[in-house]
Amino acid sequence: MDTRMQAFLLHLVLASFVFLSSIRDGYAGITSSYVRPEFPSVDIPLNHEAFSVPKGYNAPQQVHITQGDYDGKAVIISWVTPDEAGSSHVQFGTSENNFQASAEGTVSNYTLGKYKSGYIHHCLVDGLEHNTKYYYRIGTGDSSREFWFKTPPKVELDAPYKFGIIGDLGQTFNSLSTLEHYIESEAHTVLYVGDLSYADNYEYTDVGLRWDTWGRFVERSTAYQPWIWSAGNHEIEHFPYMGEVVPFKSYLQRHTTPYLASKSSSPLWYAIRRASAHIIVLSSYSPFVKYTPQFEWLGEELKRVDRKKTPWLIVLMHVPLYNSNEANYMEGESMRVVFESWFIKYKVDVIFAGHVHAYERSYRFSNIDYNITSGNRYPVPDKSAPVYITVGDGGNQEGLCSRFMDPQPEYSAFREASYGHSTLEIINRTHAVYHWNRNDDGKKVPADSFVLHNQYWKPFLADM
Ligand SMILES: *[C@@H]1O[C@H](CO)[C@@H](O)[C@H](O)[C@H]1NC(C)=O
Ligand SMILES: *[C@@H]1O[C@H](CO)[C@@H](O)[C@H](O)[C@H]1NC(C)=O
Ligand SMILES: *[C@@H]1O[C@H](CO)[C@@H](O)[C@H](O)[C@H]1NC(C)=O
Ligand SMILES: [Fe+2]
């Protein structure tokens, strides 16, 4: 155990002492009394440097990468060229200025009403080694640009890895603060829980333009490490007034996912394995009841999870199943009814969601005994249940959801209406350290943390 871990555990022991001594009968949650500084939730102006366009004719912009296969030996590199299609070529290699290998991608463009997109490139770079730093170059001549990324360790029982979790980011100054704090956290991969650009709050050609600014805004992180995408309601983009009624059009054109590698039939739901984690991405806004493709796929994917290879089972979705904020209250209930029993049967460790613009963490509770005739109406403590964490607090233009249900329900462990992001640092098969970091007057402040004990390997430990 390193000294950082020791210090953390000591801190936790002290914190739980204070915490336990305040509990009367069993569960008691905390509603943080922290009062956030009021900060306007307006989008960053178009001409701000946060959206700066790279120099050079047709220079690649909005560069982002995501995992390209099931096990982390491939990435998909995506970017936009504004002036002409140009090249979809990626050069890459393991040392700077020495690009021994190359791959060829595809290019496409789309319209949304009168908006015409730039040329969107997606290039699969595969056959990579694990645990290796790669440099890559895209674009041509003076306009070419170079970036790098690191591949994850081999999929393995005790492979350590640090994930970040961000949701509902948008493109305000609060979003910028979240993004900068996330980068300071030095995590390796973002688990993104939906609602990306909030471009759909604009009209006509501004929708597309705000997707472009968002792509340039997040590039400082997305060009260097994979963001694992899931879709939220702001990706649906139902615009009958401009004849655009195909859901997820901009989102799907701009973001690819390795869905075929997990035998999914849609980029909106899929799974990947990364280091010691098996990550399942669900779509809150695609059919999920019995017999639908998403339902059938999840049933099969859960059977493929091998906790002896990937001890950590993490699920991402946009709409939380447990939420005690007045905003979006019970919107996740329909999915809870369908999937909760599986999450318990398969011992999911943690479920991350967004949507509600606040932070909340649950105790291990379930409500699987409830049905229309049982009379068991309330969630009950359940050691086999996942922890539910809502991180819809990225900082978009809609502001915070600051009204929580009162009294705080028993399942709710900690809640606070502030902006921020989370990290989950996997130490080994049994231990992971979780943090939620609030943005506080421009500083990154750890505000909620705990050691997550693995659900599958927990029986081999003293009970938590
Ligand atoms: C995992 O790490 C924790 C904290 O460092 C340690 O207490 C525990 O014994 C480790 N578990 C295994 C299986 O190595
Ligand atoms: C894509 O770009 C080509 C070449 O500039 C153009 O002719 C075509 O209309 C564009 N398609 C869409 C859907 O915008
Ligand atoms: C409903 O709950 C009752 C009591 O827990 C149980 O006996 C019954 O089988 C449940 N019905 C369904 C359809 O799950
Ligand atoms: Fe949402």
Q: Which strands make up the sheet holding 227-228, listed edge to edge? A: 227-228, 189-192, 161-166, 420-426, 431-440, 443-453
Measured over all CA atoms, what is the biggest interatomic distance in the chain, rounded to whole angstroms? 70
User: What is the distance between the alpha carbons of residues 18 and 189, in angstroms, rounded to a whole number?
Assistant: 33
Q: What is the reported pLDDT for 179? A: 97
Ligand 2 pocket member 109 (CB < 6 A): yes
Q: Which domain holds residue 285?
A: 155-460
Q: What is the reported pLDDT for 25? A: 40
Owner of token pair 């220079």: 59
| pLDDT higher than 60, residue 180 | yes
Mutational test site, ligand 2, from 109, 250, 254, max ligand atoms within 8 Å of CB: 109
| pLDDT higher than 50, residue 132 | yes
Six token digits for residue 417: 């209406």
| pLDDT higher than 60, residue 417 | yes
Centroid of chain to Cα 186: 15
3 state SS of 200: helix
Residue of the CA atom closest to atom 12 of ligand 2? 110
CB 276 within 8 A of CB 425: no
Query: Residue 9 C-alpha to ligand 1 middle, in angstroms?
Result: 12
Q: What is the reported pLDDT for 195? A: 98
Assigned domain for 271 exists: yes
3 state SS of 179: helix
Assigned domain for 35 exists: no
| pLDDT higher than 70, residue 126 | yes
C-alpha closest to that of 78 among 25, 119, 33, 123: 123
C-alpha closest to that of 209 among 82, 399, 108: 82
Ligand 1 pocket member 430 (CB < 6 A): yes
**Number of domains within the chain:** 1
User: What is the distance between the alpha carbons of residues 207 and 216, in angstroms, rounded to a whole number?
Assistant: 15
At 41, the pLDDT band (50, 70, 90 cuts) reads: confident
Mutational test site, ligand 2, from 116, 117, 249, max ligand atoms within 8 Å of CB: 116
Model pTM score: 0.93
Six token digits for residue 25: 């009968």
Residue of the CA atom closest to atom 12 of ligand 3? 371
Residue of the CA atom closest to atom 7 of ligand 1? 1
Ligand 1 pocket member 462 (CB < 6 A): no
How confident is the model over 314-343, as pLDDT tens digits? Answer: 999 999 999 999 999 999 999 999 999 999
407 CB neighbour count, 10 Å cutoff = 10
At 34, the pLDDT band (50, 70, 90 cuts) reads: confident
How confident is the model over 344-397, as pLDDT tens digits? Answer: 999 999 999 999 999 999 999 999 999 989 999 999 999 999 999 999 999 999
Query: Residue 249 C-alpha to ligand 2 middle, in angstroms?
Result: 16
Ligand 2 pocket member 116 (CB < 6 A): yes
* Environment of ion ligand 4 (residues, CB < 5 A): 195, 232-233, 355
Ligand 2 pocket member 108 (CB < 6 A): no
C-alpha closest to that of 318 among 267, 353, 360, 351: 353
Assigned domain for 261 exists: yes
> Residue 183 class from Cβ within 10 Å (0-12 exposed, 13-18 middle, 19+ buried)?
middle
Assigned domain for 4 exists: no
Residue of the CA atom closest to atom 11 of ligand 1? 430
| pLDDT higher than 70, residue 7 | no
Cis peptide leading into 267, omega within 30 of 0?
Answer: no
How confident is the model over 250-304, as pLDDT tens digits? Answer: 999 999 999 999 999 999 999 999 999 999 999 999 999 999 999 999 999 999 9
Assigned domain for 49 exists: no
CB 37 within 8 A of CB 439: no
> Residue 334 class from Cβ within 10 Å (0-12 exposed, 13-18 middle, 19+ buried)?
middle
| pLDDT higher than 50, residue 13 | no
At 232, the pLDDT band (50, 70, 90 cuts) reads: very high
Output the CA–CA distances (angstroms, integers) from residue 459 to 453, 462, 464, in the order listed: 10, 7, 10
Report the atom number in ligand 2 closest to the C-alpha of 116. Answer: 14
Ligand 1 pocket member 431 (CB < 6 A): yes
Greater model confidence, 253 or 447? 253
Greater model confidence, 438 or 16? 438
Report the atom number in ligand 1 closest to the C-alpha of 451. Answer: 4
Q: Which ligand has its closest atom nearest to the C-alpha of 461?
A: 1
At 460, the pLDDT band (50, 70, 90 cuts) reads: confident
At 464, the pLDDT band (50, 70, 90 cuts) reads: very low
Residue type, 243: G
Q: What is the reported pLDDT for 446? A: 76
Greater model confidence, 460 or 289? 289
How confident is the model over 93-125, as pLDDT tens digits? Answer: 999 988 999 999 999 999 999 999 999 999 999
User: What is the distance between the alpha carbons of residues 258 and 270, in angstroms, rounded to a whole number?
Assistant: 7
Q: What is the reported pLDDT for 38? A: 60
User: What is the distance between the alpha carbons of residues 63 and 60, in angstroms, rounded to a whole number?
Assistant: 7
| pLDDT higher than 60, residue 135 | yes
308 conformational bin, left if phi > 0, alpha if psi -120 to 50, beta if neither: alpha
Six token digits for residue 346: 């398969």
How confident is the model over 140-170, as pLDDT tens digits? Answer: 999 999 999 999 999 999 999 999 999 999 9
At 24, the pLDDT band (50, 70, 90 cuts) reads: very low
Ligand 1 pocket member 429 (CB < 6 A): yes
Assigned domain for 93 exists: no
What is the CATH number for 450? 3.60.21.10
Q: What is the reported pLDDT for 9? A: 47
At 442, the pLDDT band (50, 70, 90 cuts) reads: low
| pLDDT higher than 70, residue 16 | no
Assigned domain for 73 exists: no
Ligand 2 pocket member 84 (CB < 6 A): no
Query: Residue 350 C-alpha to ligand 3 middle, in angstroms?
Result: 26
- Cα-trace Rg, the chain: 22
Assigned domain for 61 exists: no
* Mean pLDDT over the full length of the chain: 93
Mutational test site, ligand 1, from 12, 425, 430, 433, max ligand atoms within 8 Å of CB: 430
User: What is the distance between the alpha carbons of residues 285 and 388, in angstroms, rounded to a whole number?
Assistant: 19
User: What is the distance between the alpha carbons of residues 211 and 255, in angstroms, rounded to a whole number?
Assistant: 11
| pLDDT higher than 50, residue 130 | yes
